[in-house]
Structure 1
Amino acid sequence: MASMRAMRVRRPAGVIAATMAVAVMAGCSAGAPQAEEAGASTRYSGDEELLQVIRPSFSGPDDIAAVALVADGEVRTAFVRADAETRFEIGSITKTFTGLLLAEAIERGEVALDDPLGIHLDLDDAPVADVTLGALATHQSGLPIFPSDPEWQQEAAALDAEGKDAVDETLDELLALARAEQLPNDPTTAYSNFGAALAGQALAAAAGTEYRDILAERILEPLGLEDTSLPIEDDDHVKGLAQGFTGDRRKADPSTLGAFAPAGGIVTTVEDLARYAQGVIDGPYAGSAALEPNPFGDGDYGYFWALSSRGDRDLVSHDGMTTGFTSALLIDRTAGTAAIVFVNRSSRPVHEVARDLLGQVD
């Protein structure tokens, strides 16, 4: 595996003392212009070129945002009413971590891509027991995005109306819902949080531990992601988490996804995710099979990573959304660059902002 260069984050010398929630610290690369310090009322901070890109998108009264641009081994950052320690829920970007864990589990001999779920999870003789890890990783399992059980759907709708997460099942409850699913005879590509959760739990079972433990041992700790966590239960409080808002501007409760956590439960900072991106660009995950076309798919997915191209450049990416947050991670593997966008409101067009940020180093 490639060795990972140390990530350099350049910040302005001063830290602005804010009377609002937190002090504002900005990151930037050498020579990049900085946002002007304007005292306690400062909304925007960090790299001025990045701020010019994001201001039109994040100008709402409740907007809290953080972005990063990774290039040449350095990270430039910019913030809206946030700082380097502000944490955000990254939703389905979590699936990319699950994809890397799948690739590593295959290398370790713990699982195979064509393993049916029933080898690793207690699914009896239910149809889902025959679904392979490879099919799950390309969203071709036939599983719906969430459980189709009518009672579950009704409860989920009620929770969503209150600004709460619809999923917080225990592992036993997740498996019971999976056993009840009737799958199509000829499944096509259909995005499935349900499937990603089952894949992550299968990897944990194969390793003889819990998902949170293999995530920490195999990715978070090796990369030094000290500000990244996986809250699972309601009492897993996350220090520094921004207040999230629903798409219609209602306050959202923090996400605790229970056994669904492998599909979307990670909370992190923009600098930690920048370290993660660098691990994919030229670090220990640069050659991961998770980043290559999955033989179970049609070329659009690796192992939970979305694959695309721009001209002669190979891109890998994933967006994320929870009840109160939207996020995007876009990596240009050819150029060795990455853009990260976090905002504290669901249903925001963050992927477009990430593309615009990457345009700063084209």
Structure 2
Amino acid sequence: MRALLGDRHPVAVAAAVTPYGSRVAGLGACLDADFELGSISKGITGLLYADALGRGEVAAATTLGELLPLANVPAAAVTLGSIAAHRSRLPNLPVAARPVRRTVSLWRTGANPYGDSLEQLIVQARRVRLKRASVRYSNLGFELLGHAVASAVGTSYAELVRRRLAEPLGLDGFYVPATPDELRAGAVIGTSRSGRTRQPWTGEAFGPAGGIRGSIRDLASLAAALLDGSAPGVTALDPVADFSGGVRIGAAWITLEHGGRLVTWHNGGTGGFRTWIGLDRAAGTAVVLMSATAVPVDRHGFALLAQVTAQAVR
């Protein structure tokens, strides 16, 4: 692990999945400890959305207003399909959430900027003005998408994750804490690039966009299920639209060419964590990296996946 990531990641875990099995490793944390997944949670929400599509519970043309109490506001007319491909015209974050002030608080004190309830999220979304049509990455969009799909199913987002994904795939450490009190024993606490402790990023509203936690064993099992097609909503991986610069997007999942091979991936970043999951679907290989320090691991993930794939296809 240290040879792969260097000295800037003292607490980190990794998984490599091939057609011949999976391997996991850890540094400074046990293999069952749960990490913040950050925006890999958007990929999970994409799976749950695609699964609900397949069940006929929602359609790509279903609007947020049909599933959430948004009243007659611009956000109510936004479709689920547009959110999944980051084409919703929703801003990254709602102005009503005062993101600049929250970011300053994060820098100064390590405070969690995403502790809102679902009720608070709805109030913020009612005040949102839509942006010009373009590809626009939106945390707000995926927060609303996840809660809208859960509403269509008649449950909460946390329960949807448990019922539709964690239990069927045996992901014992996979969960969505709404408050720090809901963290499980052994939950890893992240740090900034300089080593300062950061508050856990928990929040009911935030869950679908970045609030899921899981262990490296969970992520290895999820990656294997994505590769063999047994994961719910696996069609979320299939690219359906251009994203930018030759990159394609499915339901949150990005596909690009790297080293002459197509890689489907998503990364994540919170105040104290960086994560990356990538799959070479043609080779049947995958890599997951999770670090409890806010130093990016994307470069290491792509490099390790190329290495694992090269060994698997010999």
Return the index of the structure with the highest Cα Rg.
1
1:112 aligns with 2:37: no
1:328 aligns with 2:276: yes
Give the C-alpha shift of residue 85 in structure 1.
1.8
1:214 aligns with 2:160: yes
Aligned-partner Cα distance in 2 for 1:287–1:200: 13
- One-letter amino acid of the counterpart of residue 194, structure 1: L
- One-letter amino acid of the counterpart of residue 253, structure 2: W
The answer (yes or no) to whether the contact 2:89–2:134 under 8 Å persists in 1 is yes
Q: Tell me the residue number matched to 1:16.
A: none
The answer (yes or no) to whether the contact 1:157–1:166 under 8 Å persists in 2 is no
1:277 aligns with 2:223: yes
Give the C-alpha shift of residue 88 in structure 1.
1.0
Q: Tell me the residue number matched to 2:128.
A: 181
Change (3 A) 1:155 1:136: same
The answer (yes or no) to whether the contact 2:241–2:248 under 8 Å persists in 1 is no
Determine which of 169, 182, 205 is the counterpart of 2:116.
Answer: 169
- One-letter amino acid of the counterpart of residue 324, structure 1: G
Give 3-state SS (helix, strand or coil) of 1:328's partner.
strand
Aligned-partner Cα distance in 2 for 1:245–1:260: 20
- One-letter amino acid of the counterpart of residue 59, structure 1: D
Q: Tell me the residue number matched to 1:77.
A: 24
Aligned-partner Cα distance in 1 for 2:153–2:205: 16
**Runs of 4+ in structure 1 displaced over 6 angstroms?**
296-299
1:103 aligns with 2:50: yes
Structure 2: state its 5+ residue gaps: none
- One-letter amino acid of the counterpart of residue 83, structure 2: L
Determine which of 247, 267, 286 is the counterpart of 1:319.
Answer: 267
Amino-acid identity (%): 36
1:353 aligns with 2:296: no
Structure-to-structure mapping, 1:254-273, within 5 angstroms: 254-273=200-219
Determine which of 135, 142, 154 is the counterpart of 1:196.
Answer: 142
Aligned-partner Cα distance in 1 for 2:122–2:180: 21
Aligned-partner Cα distance in 2 for 1:86–1:285: 22
Q: Tell me the residue number matched to 2:93.
A: 146
1:244 aligns with 2:194: no
- One-letter amino acid of the counterpart of residue 261, structure 1: G
The answer (yes or no) to whether the contact 2:274–2:293 under 8 Å persists in 1 is yes
Equivalent pairs counted in the alignment come to 307
- One-letter amino acid of the counterpart of residue 271, structure 2: T
Q: Tell me the residue number matched to 1:293.
A: 239
1:3-41: CA deviations, max 9, x gaps? Answer: xxxxxxxxxxxxxxxxxxxxxxxxxxxxxxxxxxxxxxx
1:135-177: CA deviations, max 9, x gaps? Answer: 1111111222221237454245324431122111111110111
Aligned-partner Cα distance in 1 for 2:187–2:168: 23
Aligned-partner Cα distance in 2 for 1:250–1:95: 26
Q: Tell me the residue number matched to 1:126.
A: 73
| RMSD of equivalent CA atoms | 2.0
Change (3 A) 1:109 1:213: same
- One-letter amino acid of the counterpart of residue 188, structure 1: S
The answer (yes or no) to whether the contact 2:174–2:213 under 8 Å persists in 1 is yes
1:233-281: CA deviations, max 9, x gaps? Answer: 2310222122310133211112212211111111111111000001100
Give 3-state SS (helix, strand or coil) of 1:235's partner.
helix
Aligned-partner Cα distance in 2 for 1:99–1:221: 18
- One-letter amino acid of the counterpart of residue 149, structure 2: L
- One-letter amino acid of the counterpart of residue 341, structure 1: L
Question: Does 308-317 or 79-88 show the bigger shift?
Answer: 308-317
Question: Does 195-204 or 72-81 show the bigger shift?
Answer: 72-81
Aligned-partner Cα distance in 1 for 2:200–2:224: 28
1:337 aligns with 2:295: no
The answer (yes or no) to whether the contact 2:64–2:80 under 8 Å persists in 1 is yes
Give the C-alpha shift of residue 295 in structure 1.
5.2
Change (3 A) 1:151 1:285: closer
Aligned-partner Cα distance in 2 for 1:202–1:261: 12
Structure 1: state its 5+ residue gaps: 1-50
Give 3-state SS (helix, strand or coil) of 2:87's partner.
coil
Q: Tell me the residue number matched to 2:83.
A: 136
TM-score (norm. length: structure 1): 0.80
- One-letter amino acid of the counterpart of residue 261, structure 2: R
Give the C-alpha shift of residue 124 in structure 1.
1.1
Give the C-alpha shift of residue 297 in structure 1.
6.2
Give 3-state SS (helix, strand or coil) of 1:55's partner.
helix
